[in-house]
């Protein structure tokens, strides 16, 4: 039996979320696999991949918590981005090769802020070639590595806010609060183009995903230190699955209704009020899953979480 076989044989069901502060230089999946081994968890997934060069918040989901991945993909995100003006690269970030240079415009802070105002709200964005999106069954980055460029449809995204933190020479530092599907590398290129120059993303750090707080993140070295005391020590740092849905309205069911809900039946929700997707609990605290509350007051199960009661 190999060492990997031994690691797999000792894996156990682990439920919860870990907010990893991903380091630069590894893929999101590599980061996930490292933490999965530390936890000795059977099932794991992540939401919202970060480029290898990027750092910051990467929600890792384990066991039943993987069921929130689809909902987290819809979440807004906040980034701190350092742009290098005057140099474009083929990948849009510092890992690529310089493909174009241009003069850096002599804009003061007021000039940059006026330009950035054009990028707030709903805008059209063409995804970059170096992305995981597919065209005719092929990943765009696979085509890009062969030197190919294909047409991509523009997508509508929302920039909730964009703030200028610093502008000095060829360095521009921004904080961007945006919707899902936003490519910061492309945003930086579009801002530079509007200013009459070119640019690439020199550094990118994701500060928040949805309602998660930056202070709840744990870096990889910290996770390894905690796990030195055993996987149980690191498991104790996991957040409950319903933390990912904390901004949603909640419904609390008596035990008899909770049993019917978990068996796939719609139940009457006397509290009323909210409609749409809600968090569902048995009593005050035991999380059952995601329900759909209709205008008729009926609560239909959408995703059941089989958590220890």
Instruction: Give the whole-angstrom CA distance, residue 175 versus residue 140.
Output: 27
Handedness of CA 220, 173, 190, 90 (dihedral sign): negative
- Residues 213, 215, 217, 219: what is their CA dihedral angle, to the nearest 10 degrees? 150
Cβ atoms of 291 and 278 within 8 Å: the answer is yes
Helix 28-39 to helix 220-227 angle, to the nearest 10 degrees? 10
CB 199 within 8 A of CB 88: yes
Residue 224, CA atoms < 13 Å, CB-side half-sphere: 8
The 3-class secondary structure across 184-197, one letter per residue, is HHHHHHHHHHHCCC
DSSP state of 25: T
Element (H, E) at 79: strand 77-85
End-to-end CA distance of the chain: 36
Q: Catalytic annotation on 256?
A: no
Q: Which of 5, 51, 153, 216 is catalytic?
A: 51
Residues 6+ apart with CB under 8 A from 179: 76, 157, 158, 159, 160
Q: Which residues are catalytic?
A: 51
């Amino acid at each position: 039996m190999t060492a990997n076989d031994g690691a797999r044989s000792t894996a156990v069901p682990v439920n919860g979320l870990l907010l990893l502060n991903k380091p630069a230089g590894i893929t999101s999946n590599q980061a996930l696999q490292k933490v999965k081994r530390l936890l000795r968890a059977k099932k794991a997934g992540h939401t919202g991949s970060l480029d290898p060069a990027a750092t910051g918040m990467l929600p890792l989901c384990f066991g039943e918590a993987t069921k929130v991945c689809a909902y987290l993909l819809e979440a807004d995100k906040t980034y701190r981005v350092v742009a290098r003006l005057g140099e474009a690269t083929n990948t849009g970030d510092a890992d690529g090769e310089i493909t174009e240079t241009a003069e850096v415009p002599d804009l003061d802070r007021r000039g940059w802020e006026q330009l950035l105002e054009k990028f707030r709200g709903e805008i059209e964005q063409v995804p970059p070639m170096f992305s995981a999106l597919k065209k005719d069954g092929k990943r765009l980055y696979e085509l890009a590595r062969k030197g190919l460029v294909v047409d991509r449809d523009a997508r509508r995204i929302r920039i909730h806010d964009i703030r200028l933190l610093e502008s000095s020479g060829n360095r521009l530092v921004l904080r961007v609060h945006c919707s899902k599907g936003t490519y910061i590398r492309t945003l930086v290129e579009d801002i530079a183009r509007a200013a009459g120059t070119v640019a690439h993303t020199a550094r990118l750090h994701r500060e928040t995903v949805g309602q998660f707080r930056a202070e709840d993140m744990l870096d990889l070295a910290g996770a390894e230190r905690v796990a030195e005391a055993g996987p149980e020590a690191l498991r104790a740092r996991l957040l409950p699955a319903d933390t990912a849905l904390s901004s949603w309205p909640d419904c609390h069911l008596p035990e008899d209704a909770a049993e019917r809900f978990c068996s796939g039946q719609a139940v009457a929700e006397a509290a009323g009020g909210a409609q749409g997707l809600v968090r569902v609990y048995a009593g005050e605290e035991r999380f059952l899953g995601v329900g759909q509350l209709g205008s008729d007051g009926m609560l239909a199960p959408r995703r059941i979480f089989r958590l220890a009661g």
